[in-house]
Structure 1
Amino acid sequence: MSEFLTRRAGFWHYQRRVPLAFAEHDTRGIVRQSTRIRIADDPRGTRAGRAADRINAELEAFWRASLVGESTDAKARYDRARKDARRLGFEYITAAEVAQRPIAEILARFEALAAGKPDDRPAEDAVLGRVEPPALDIDGLFDEFEALMKPSLKGMSEDQVRKWRNPKKRAIANLVTVIGNKPLSKLTRSDALDFQRWWIDRVMVEGVEIETANKDIGHLNKMLGKVEHTHRLGLGPVFAQMRIEGGRTGQRVAFAPAFVQDHLLKAGALDGLNPDARRLLYLIAETGLRLSEACNLTAETIRLDDPVPHVMVRPIGRRMKTDQSERDMPLVGVALAAMQAQPDGFPRYRDKAASVSATINKFLDENGLLPTEGTTLYSLRHTFEDRLTAVEAPDKVAAAMMGHKYHRPRYGVGPSLAQKREWLERIAFRAPTEV
């Protein structure tokens, strides 16, 4: 049995810590790769040991190549070839693709070379497509995808970028766990099926939600599609139509308004929370703001001295969830009291919605303030919408306050602050003695 063989989730896996000599080039710490051999089929690990030895040989070759910079050199040569081709007026394509182009274009490429310097080997390689694209592997998929998506990330805050990155990185890490790291050009439909089967096993044995698996599959499909389109890897839709059937997106339930008033807003009920977190909860309960919207209010967007005190939800240093999210919300009841105590906003939690969400939800759970399964801090937004429905607020007014798209064509400037306040006062909570 190979010294690098270990048991994991019913399969034999190769596992080895990256030697210190290569740690700078391979930051994974520990390399794990499935042999795809079930323990039940090979209880002594004989076949798996041979597979692990092959994986180890390939890995050591990769480490040695990384140490001398072969991967970096290959990328540098390819990038230069693309630039040289553009400089001479051509798109960089491989030699095989050049051969398939119309004869007029092929002749134009040779004429451009004839007009340039004699024996210009880099130009010849660029125009005739003689530089192979660098081999992209699964571990490098996210970095390549992120580089291609840079324009679409413009305007996101640091926390929004983190939330965008993490599920994609997690999907790649899970894929490597199942099939190991390999060049993207070697990725097959069979690998995708192995990954799907791994998730199905987890759903059946561990009770993992189907939608959790489908999110991984969806992220991989999108990343591969984008990189495939850019680099012409010839993979085809490896992860297309691989979603697991039977999943359903969980719907957060709302708090009953009476529970909010009698328990969450009961004097002293939230004294165990720090003041910023407590007042954020009060603000959300009364206005239905998303937590990220509330956390990122500033002194400039909190207008307490205006005829109608209100907060302005704006994309300051971050991207709004939708175009309709940008809105002005009057302050009444417990929200007005909270913001009078926090006139500069919540700098402690600015761009840290995930942190305060975890803090508040943990407190509510530990103190018996989550009455039914599925209720969380975000449920207060659903409660806010239910309260507007209960007083029969017009759809246009409700959509404007929720930051939702109104289903009819938009005319005029929409409901005024005074009109919004009128409806909010109908549903306002009683504020605790001390906020």
Structure 2
Amino acid sequence: MHRYQKPWRGAWYYVRRVPTAFAHLDKRNPVRVSANIAVADDPEGWRAARVIDRLDKETEAYWRGLLEGHAVEAQRRYDAARTRARALGFDYMPAMELAAKPIGDLLDRAEVLRPRDAAGSGPEIAAVLGGEDRPDFRLSTLFGEYERLSRASLKEKSEDQLRKWRNPKKRAVANLMTVIGDKRLSEITRNDALDFQAWWQDRIVGEGREIETANKDIGHINRMLRTLERWHRLGLPPVFSELRIEGGRVAQRQAYDAGYVRDRLFAPGALDGLNEEARAVIWLVAETGLRLSEACNLTSETIHLDEPVPYVAVRPDGRQMKTDQSAREIPLLGGALAAAKRFPEGFPRYRHRADALSALVNKYLDTAGLRPSKGHTLYSLRHTFEDRLTAVGAPEKVMAALMGHKYIRPKYGAGPSLELKAEWVGRIVYQVPHDTAS
């Protein structure tokens, strides 16, 4: 049975007390909702338990909605008061803070209201005399407000990029709530932050979790709190600053040895267990150094086969570019050219689904014994491409232009031509029959 499941008047009911965090918004106490299933028809309560589980989720969503709506309205009133206060020549201060100022400051503010005939205006009185409290967000609303404040920087991200941006931050908030509950942001203390750090230390030692995973959580929370503090002047102390756990390191992806790729990965039949689109993308990454997301999102408009030098153009196309240098043209030779000819309109199966392709290919390579170490992944082929260019002495400017990296010296001219890039890529192309990609 569900923990909030109770028999009442011959039927099964959902019965739950309103949590303290929502009690000021929901005056029902307890919440009591019928599952519309008689106890006589379901004496063990199994059917009713499923209904009550749904009712519980709906009720919690309702409470969160109340809290978020309340916070948004409080924020709207507070922002309006700040704007009015500035228009009248004052910095906005909540009444409690204003009360601690010298009496002259209060008299100056009161004096401003009289000649403007503002004495009867509730909003102007609130603005000048601090009638609106600073909004007091809860931890459960932290990410939503952070996302709202970040909306300008997110507008060019694709849905997949947004998912990757959102998930680690939402996970960090959920982890913190596991440790300290759904506190108001103003109530979070340095001790809470230290408890969170200790919680992660226990997981690192006891569960083998990565130190960098913990540091990312701490960093996300710190950044979100700083952003809300900067925008809303909440008076939040930097309780999550300088809490990184020492000893962490970012795992470095291994590069495949070029000979291993030629003799093992691209051996006849080695990739036959993968579908054609997956095999073609592997060839593209290996022969062009494309990022996996760049390869997966090519289209008929970015694959140019009827040119003196066939090439692909990396463009935003509904996504935010990783760097300003990511937009570039890369020549198609060898297996990459064969792959593009086989799929001249791109790879619809994996468009905006690079993660799914990566998981599929890495699992296949693992099963087929084609990963010399756990550090070798599909993405390693991009690093191998760069190593191969280095081995033949390609100029740094050409390598940067092919890889989409920033060139460290001042930029002059238009950069390496497509023909020049093709000349250097031609020196490292795998000598493997082109029909292997098809």
TM-score after normalising by structure 1 = 0.82
Which deviates further from its counterpart, 75-84 or 230-239?
75-84
SS at match of 1:201: helix
8 A contact 1:192–1:238 mirrored in 2: yes
Structure 1 residue 232, shift from structure 2 partner = 2.4
CA RMSD after TM alignment: 2.7
Which deviates further from its counterpart, 85-94 or 405-414?
85-94
Which deviates further from its counterpart, 94-103 or 416-425?
94-103
Distance 1:382 1:108, change over 3 A: same
SS at match of 2:286: helix
Structure 1 residue 74, shift from structure 2 partner = 6.0
Residue matched to 1:203: 204
Structure 1 residue 77, shift from structure 2 partner = 4.6
8 A contact 1:78–1:131 mirrored in 2: no
Which deviates further from its counterpart, 89-98 or 272-281?
89-98
SS at match of 1:82: helix
Which deviates further from its counterpart, 306-315 or 253-262?
253-262
Structure 1 residue 92, shift from structure 2 partner = 4.2
SS at match of 2:150: helix
Distance 1:101 1:293, change over 3 A: farther
Which deviates further from its counterpart, 304-313 or 82-91?
82-91
Runs of 4+ in structure 1 deviating by more than 4 angstroms, as ranges, are 19-22, 65-71, 96-106
Residue matched to 2:33: none
Structure 1 residue 76, shift from structure 2 partner = 2.0
Residue matched to 2:95: 95
CA distance in 2, matches of 1:235, 1:418: 56
Amino acid at match of 2:389: L
Structure 1 residue 97, shift from structure 2 partner = 4.8
Structure 2: runs of 5 or more not aligned: 5-12, 28-61
CA distance in 1, matches of 2:153, 2:103: 35
TM-score after normalising by structure 2 = 0.81
Superposed CA deviations along residues 248-293 of structure 1, whole A, max 9, x for unmatched, are: 1111111111111122212222122121111111100101100111
8 A contact 1:254–1:383 mirrored in 2: yes
Distance 1:215 1:106, change over 3 A: farther
Distance 1:20 1:387, change over 3 A: farther
Superposed CA deviations along residues 102-133 of structure 1, whole A, max 9, x for unmatched, are: 96897367424652455222331233221113
Superposed CA deviations along residues 4-40 of structure 1, whole A, max 9, x for unmatched, are: 9xxxxxxxxxxxxxx9688xxxxxxxxxxxxxxxxxx
Is the aligned partner of 1:157 residue 2:158? yes
Superposed CA deviations along residues 39-95 of structure 1, whole A, max 9, x for unmatched, are: xxxxxxxxxxxxxx9xx8635636736769577446425413532553572564422
Is the aligned partner of 1:396 residue 2:397? yes
Residue matched to 2:333: 332
SS at match of 1:311: strand
Is the aligned partner of 1:290 residue 2:252? no
Residue matched to 2:168: 167
8 A contact 1:81–1:92 mirrored in 2: no
Amino acid at match of 1:136: F
1:352-363 aligned at under 5 Å gives the runs 352-363=353-364
1:8-27 aligned at under 5 Å gives the runs none
Aligned residue pairs, count: 387
Is the aligned partner of 1:64 residue 2:20? no
Residue matched to 1:83: 80
Percent of aligned pairs sharing the same letter: 53
Amino acid at match of 1:64: D
CA distance in 2, matches of 1:352, 1:184: 36
CA distance in 2, matches of 1:82, 1:105: 21
SS at match of 2:26: helix
8 A contact 2:84–2:127 mirrored in 1: no
Residue matched to 2:414: 413
8 A contact 1:81–1:125 mirrored in 2: no
Residue matched to 1:34: none
8 A contact 2:106–2:129 mirrored in 1: no
Superposed CA deviations along residues 333-389 of structure 1, whole A, max 9, x for unmatched, are: 000000001101112222221111111111111211112231001100110011001
Structure 1: runs of 5 or more not aligned: 5-18, 23-52
Structure 1 residue 318, shift from structure 2 partner = 0.9
8 A contact 2:109–2:128 mirrored in 1: no
